[in-house]
Amino acid sequence: MSILFPAFFFLINCNTNREKNPDKDSANKTDTMKPETKDTGYNLPEDAFKLHFDSEVVDSHNDYLYQVFKRGADFGKKDPFTQSGLQRFREGGITLQFFAIWIPSSEEKRAFSFAKQQAERLKKIEEEYGSEFGIAYSYEDFEKIRAEGKLCGMMGIEDGAAVGGSLENLETLYETGVRYIGLTWNRSNAIGTSAKDESGSSRSGGLTEFGKKVVKRMEEMGMMIDVSHSGEKTFWDVMEITSGPIIASHSNCYALNPHYRNLTDEQIKAIADRNGVIMVNFLDDFIVSGGKETRVKDYYDRYSKDLDLIFEESKGDLITFNKKRYNFILEHPVKGGTTLDDLIEHIDYIRNLVGIDYIGLGSDFDGGITPPIDLYDATCYPLITQRLAEKGYTETDIRKILGLNFLRVLKQVCSKKN
């Protein structure tokens, strides 16, 4: 599942001084960054890879920190058991990566202290790789780190169990650097009921009284509220007591695949009405119904030697490498499995339902997922750009999906000015 290319760091044509348009006027859209709406001249789809490496590319959900905890993953190496890490992020063109702090069942009883320890692990990574990687605590920090040419990281929590039943703990997590919390994971907790627990159940659910206090305090502090994994009752309780943008850090469309983890049309519309964003998840079982049952070997598992050779012959030119890799994939069709085109159907669906301004990428890489066969690790983000361009998405559309939509929300919620 993971690429084992030789160690190499390369980032091409990173323009950090992008033109920003005036902010939208709205009660819920105060002081937001409006993504640029004027194309800059790329000839698509021919220049898709050039566009990719000239864009802000944001992934809102990656579980790499769990691989550090569980398997001792080395951020500077392409470990064979990971899907990401510094080199893969660079080769994939990522500019902002949110690192999820997931609470495994084994650590649930000490969830708060475990979350703090995971945050410290990311800070140690920053100490070791500070010349290439920096942690942001605000939108302005992100801009500064990008201007320095570094990969930017931020922290989110997956499972509000980390709050430990205490608003004081919530504030400590904010001070530690956490900038979003997924209210639940598959397990319900003291904040609310999960999508898994609510599915097929007549149980009463939603936010608890404590959960309502947590959500309100998050909005006051400037911490994004993440409804991925939340049950529908929890979701609608959140919408009732908040006024700002909401994110779904790694969720897809229920209309295309009726999995309890996916969002209904009404949920998607509600997030869009709040100027929020839905970040599509790369797990095959969330993309297509029965994805788990139709799995086949991905392209790297099948053709690692060929792909390694293509990378070596490209001599660090990521545009050349991606063109050759993409052509190789087209020339070697694979029967079965979930594909990148299946994922893009979810992007198409959200665009057609609510518009282009509410879509982003939340891979869930290194969270035990099986992604599409042609989206096998974090080096593959440029292939998304290529396929979007081939489907007729404009330069502005693509820039928004890759990162500007999420950055709009990040600026609105996590700016020092707010």
Q: What would the mean pLDDT of 171-178 be, rounded to a whole number?
A: 98
pLDDT of residue 203: 64
Q: Which amino acid is at 214?
A: V
For residues 161 and 187, the answer to whether their CB atoms sit within 8 Å is: yes
Residue 198 has pLDDT above 60, yes or no: yes
Q: What would the mean pLDDT of 388-405 be, rounded to a whole number?
A: 98
Tokens 């939208």 identify what position?
A: 24
Q: What would the mean pLDDT of 32-43 be, rounded to a whole number?
A: 63
Helix (H) or strand (E) holding 311: helix 299-314
In three-state secondary structure terms, 233 is helix
Q: How far apart are CA 379 and CA 351, in angstroms?
A: 25
**353 φ/ψ angles, rounded to the nearest 5 degrees:** -80, -45
Helix (H) or strand (E) holding 388: helix 381-390
For residues 263 and 248, the answer to whether their CB atoms sit within 8 Å is: yes
Mean pLDDT of the chain: 91
Q: Which CATH number fits domain 48-414: 3.10.310.30, 3.20.20.70, 3.20.20.140, 3.90.550.10?
A: 3.20.20.140
Q: How far apart are CA 228 and CA 180, in angstroms?
A: 11
Q: How far apart are CA 177 and CA 136, in angstroms?
A: 8
pLDDT of residue 202: 59
Q: How far apart are CA 275 and CA 405, in angstroms?
A: 9
pLDDT of residue 311: 98
Encoded tokens for 190:
């003291």
Q: How far apart are CA 183 and CA 217, in angstroms?
A: 13
In three-state secondary structure terms, 230 is strand
Encoded tokens for 143:
């801009």
pLDDT of residue 27: 32
Q: What is the pLDDT of residues 202-252, one digit of tens each?
A: 566 999 999 999 999 999 999 999 999 999 999 999 999 999 999 999 999
Q: How far apart are CA 155 and CA 402, in angstroms?
A: 19
Residue 177 has pLDDT above 60, yes or no: yes
Domain boundaries, the chain: 48-414
Encoded tokens for 151:
């990969």
**358 φ/ψ angles, rounded to the nearest 5 degrees:** -130, 25
Measure CA 292 to chain center: 21
SS3 content of the chain, % helix, strand, coil (to 5): 45, 10, 40
pLDDT of residue 201: 67
Q: What is the pLDDT of residues 248-289, one digit of tens each?
A: 999 999 999 999 999 999 999 999 999 999 999 999 999 999
DSSP code at position 405:
H
Q: What is the pLDDT of residues 284-342, one digit of tens each?
A: 999 999 999 999 999 999 999 999 999 999 999 999 999 999 999 999 999 999 999 99
> Mind giving me the DSSP string for 253-279?
BTTTS--TTSBPHHHHHHHHHTT-EEE
pLDDT of residue 21: 34
Residue 409 has pLDDT above 90, yes or no: yes
